[in-house]
Amino acid sequence: MSFKNKIIVSFVCFITGVTSAFSSNDGWLNILNEGGNNKGIKCTEAIQKTIDKAAVSGGGTIFFPAGEYVTGALKLKSNICIYLDSGALLKFSDDFEDYLPYVTMRYEGIVMQTFSPLFYAKEAQNITIKGRGVIDGQGKAWWNEVYRIETAKQPLPLTKYQKMWEEQNNGLVYSPYYQRTIDKKFFRPSFFQAYNCSNILIEGVTFQNSPFWTINPEFCDNVTITGITISNPHSPNTDGINPSSCKNVHISNCHISVGDDCITIKSGRDEDGRKYGRPTENVTITNCTMLSGHGGVVIGSEMSGGIKKITISNCVFDGTDRGIRIKSARGRGGIVEDIRVDNIVMNNIKEEAIIMDLFYDKSNVVEPVSERTPIFRNIHISNVTATNVKKAGTIRGITEMPIQNISFSNSIITAQEGFTIMTSKDIEFHDVKVNTSIGSSFEIEDTSNFIMDNVATASPIKDIPVIHLKNAFNGMVNNNFPMVLTPLFIQAEGKQTREIFLKNNVFTNVTTVVKKELDLNKKAVIE
């Protein structure tokens, strides 16, 4: 055989080997060889049979070459990989019938029976979705149905699906706060929900037009989400990535623009969440960009099972309503603790850059401390650069449970309004500059045990203090050196304001160091 012929034979063998790898050999199943089609004709049955076939053999990869595929809900099983080649578009049907029968899923923190998620797995392991293709949830039909129900001016006849929901969820326990949502009796499916699974990898693909939350692992262990794009338009509750009651979660290198929160960490709602008692813990979020969305990274409000050991680093938020948001309310219970946020750049933030709030349901009724009482503690934020922000931040605890042990360091925030700290304790600011155009850089009220160490503003306002204290006590203001002419540094008021110590400050550029209001004890501020 000539050298030329050897080359030709070798090339043919190579091509044959590649083709075989993407057919039925070595665990690869080419969907086009298994009864599917890439012409946009619904082929749910063929795809599901291929998944089942691979599962029976111990697992495998379902390969989607370039082209358009249409399917209804898919049930993923152990050791299954969905691989979408570049140019592959997997579109989910907008026919509600394709998401029956109802399955067990968690919806906004409550376990119930409702429509199957588009990708659904229960009690499985080693699940992968990867590639360079696009997966389209065609969520508009779902959004329109919610809009039809919510905007009706009078009660509507129940649909078939609402009647089914009533029948299959008899005895469901929920808080009065959730009544409005329950009354809809219509619960859209998540794009991807793995329920009580382990070893999940989602990599490279693009998700768009989700009916509801996009990537939503529930009660899962070892979840990796990396290099994906999520693109949802202005639409109801189309969050990006929502791990709930999960542990060992790694989110990296993602690009997210959605109709609600970009990344949200949760662990169940109220009594139902406390019943399961599964915290979300050991979560890393890094190297992600968040564009449109209500929040960049959000914790809560469903956090009744607890949330702990979370790191958020090296992320960009550009155009979200809020940056870092931690929220809960009386009745939730649960503990949010041991949170680290570092190296964050924010721009064009419509509300707060950072907010921790225990008034998510706006209830002002003080309760005895119990399992219903939410707790925020041990949260540390550093190296934040934020520009074009409406408000630098808010920390607002409840009377029976102040937010505690919070620190900010090495950050520069330029905003219309500064920080408001209320009903908190053990609060520290170190090397933080807040430039405002309206009001004080730091408003501290009903707060104890605080340190203001080398804080400043580059834009002091006439007759407006940099630090405004109201009923604050046991505080240290130290190591401050305003570098620009500052008319007023501290204003103190309130009968409860006391034990405010000023140490090691250089106020040569300050006209008035402390303005003491009439209701202030003369010995409240010690210079």
Lowest mean pLDDT among 7-16, 31-40, 379-388, 443-452: 7-16
3-class secondary structure per residue, 439-460 = CCCEEEEEEEEEEEEEEECCCC
pLDDT at 8: 44
- Phi first, then psi: give them for residue 520, nearest 5 degrees: -90, 135
Residue 14 above 90 pLDDT? no
Q: What percent of the chain has pLDDT over 90?
A: 91
Cα angle 367, 373, 374; round to 5: 140
Q: Tokens 């503690």 belong to which residue?
A: 377
Count, in order, helices (H) and strands (E) of the chain. 6, 35
pLDDT at 10: 45
pLDDT at 168: 98
The closest of 362, 250, 235, 224 to 292, measured between CA atoms, is: 235
Known catalytic residues are 260, 294
Mean pLDDT for all residues in the chain? 94
pLDDT band at 497 (very low <50, low <70, confident <90, very high): very high
pLDDT digits (tens, 9 = 90+) for 61-97: 999 999 999 999 999 999 999 999 999 999 999 999 9
CB atoms within 10 A of CB 517: 12
pLDDT band at 19 (very low <50, low <70, confident <90, very high): very low
pLDDT digits (tens, 9 = 90+) for 450-464: 999 999 999 999 999
Q: What is the mean pLDDT of residues 191-201?
A: 98
Q: What is the mean pLDDT of residues 488-514?
A: 97
pLDDT at 25: 52
Delimit the domains of the chain by residue range: 461-527
Cα angle 330, 377, 468; round to 5: 90
pLDDT digits (tens, 9 = 90+) for 254-300: 999 999 999 999 999 999 999 999 999 999 999 999 999 999 999 99
pLDDT band at 378 (very low <50, low <70, confident <90, very high): very high
The more confidently predicted of residues 382 and 4 is 382
Residue 396: strand, helix, or coil: strand
